[in-house]
Amino acid sequence: MKFTLIENLGYRSLVVVEHLGRIAQFALRITACLLVPPYRFRRLVGDVYDAGVLSLPVVCLSGAVVGGTLSLLGYTTLVRFGAEEALGALVGLAVIRELGPVLTALLVTGRAGSAFAAEIATMVTTEQLDGLRMMSVDPVDFVVSPKALALLIAMPLLAGLFAVFALMGGYGIAVGLLGVDGGSFMASMEGSVKFWNDVIGSFSKAITFGALTGLIATYRGYISEPTAAGVSAATTGTVVIGSVTILVFDFFLNGFWGV
């Protein structure tokens, strides 16, 4: 009785380790399915539409708003030091290095990742995946791998669009509202953003997050219980686990690239 807590901890740790192992296996299976014919190009296009195009409004709008907010906040601080010319650098670096990939990943996990998880979980519940198996079609190949790849493809594209919209939002607020000189805003941004460090770093982050979201969403949907509760658990699980994983990986990637 007195060991219950520790036992619980032990059990839960084991469950986590087991899931990690299974996710790794699952990732290998997806990779194998993507590399070996048949290539599901048509299904991939459909899933890129779901993951990418349908996420566009929320990503672009959030980007513009976040950029504007950064400009407002940054200006009030910088203007005290008479350094409002550095506003472009602040917005550019913050958006490209950090906020672009991370916020996009969180938004896409919430919108597209959860939708994919729910879709796959529903297919488990309604025996559609078993139906595919009985037709000698591997559901990982037919359903899962195009979705995982679609998120991997859509994420960097969306992150890029998020960044551009954030910069436009930031520029609009800085120049239109706060009266910062447009030329010096852009000059300070262009002067401070470095290709290898910042843009490539941002791009790699977005790709990493895309792979993680794709993997977590599809895995969580694939292992769900065949019930309505299973579908909702898969959706929630994807958002929670996906978001936390993205933030944790972001921390380590920042350490890796040296902030």
Partner 1 sequence: MSEPREPEFRIAFDGVSLKRGDRVIFDGLSCGFPRGRVSVVLGGSGAGKSTLIRMIGGLQRPDSGVVRVADEDITRYSERELFKVRDRIGMLFQGGALLDSMTVAENVALPLREHTRLSEKDIEAEVDRRLVAVGLSDAGQLYPRELSGGMSRRAALARAIVMDPEILLVDEPFSGLDPINVRRIEALLVDLNRHLDLTLIVTSHHMASSIRMADRLVFMVDGIAIAGPPDELLKNSDERIVEFLVAESDSFAEHHELDVTPLMDRRTLPDRRKKS
Partner 2 sequence: MKRSPLRDLIVGIFVLCGLAAIAYLSIQLGGLYYSGPAGFKLIATFDEVGDLKPRSAVVIAGVRVGQVVSIELDDLLRARCVLDVDPSLELDVETSAAIKTAGLLGEKFIALEPGGSDEMLESGDEIDRTVSALSIESLVGKFVNDSGLEGD
Residue 136's alpha-carbon distances to 23, 129, 146, in angstroms, are 23, 11, 18
CB neighbours (10 Å) of residue 155? 30
Q: Which amino acid is at 199?
A: V
Question: What does 132 interact with, of partner 1, partner 2, none (CB < 5 to 8 A by kind)?
Answer: partner 1
User: Distance (Å, rounded) from C-alpha 178 to C-alpha 189?
Assistant: 17
- Contact call for residue 257 and partner 2 (CB under 8 A): no
Answer whether 257's CB lies under 8 Å from 201's CB.
Answer: yes
Stretch that binds partner 2, among 114-122, 131-139, 156-164, 223-231 (CB under 8 A): 156-164
Terminal Cα-to-Cα distance of the chain (whole angstroms): 48
CB neighbours (10 Å) of residue 128? 15
Please state the closest distance from residue 100 (CB atom) to partner 2, in A.
9
User: Distance (Å, rounded) from C-alpha 209 to C-alpha 176?
Assistant: 34
CB neighbours (10 Å) of residue 200? 12
Contacts with partner 1 by CB under 8 A: the residue count is 15
Q: Maximum distance among all alpha carbons in the chain?
A: 70
Please state the closest distance from residue 148 (CB atom) to partner 1, in A.
16
163-182 residues near partner 2, rule: CB under 8 A = 163-164, 167
Question: What does 130 interact with, of partner 1, partner 2, none (CB < 5 to 8 A by kind)?
Answer: partner 1
User: Distance (Å, rounded) from C-alpha 250 to C-alpha 215?
Assistant: 16
| Pattern 18-57, partner 1, x by CB under 8 A | --------------------x-------x-----------
Stretch that binds partner 2, among 11-19, 21-29, 193-201, 237-245 (CB under 8 A): 193-201
- Contact call for residue 128 and partner 1 (CB under 8 A): yes
- Contact call for residue 131 and partner 2 (CB under 8 A): no
133-192 residues near partner 1, rule: CB under 8 A = 133-138
CA 17 to mean position of chain CA atoms: 23
| Residue from 33, 60, 123, 234 binding partner 1 (CB under 8 A) | 123
| Residue from 66, 96, 149, 175 binding partner 2 (CB under 8 A) | 96
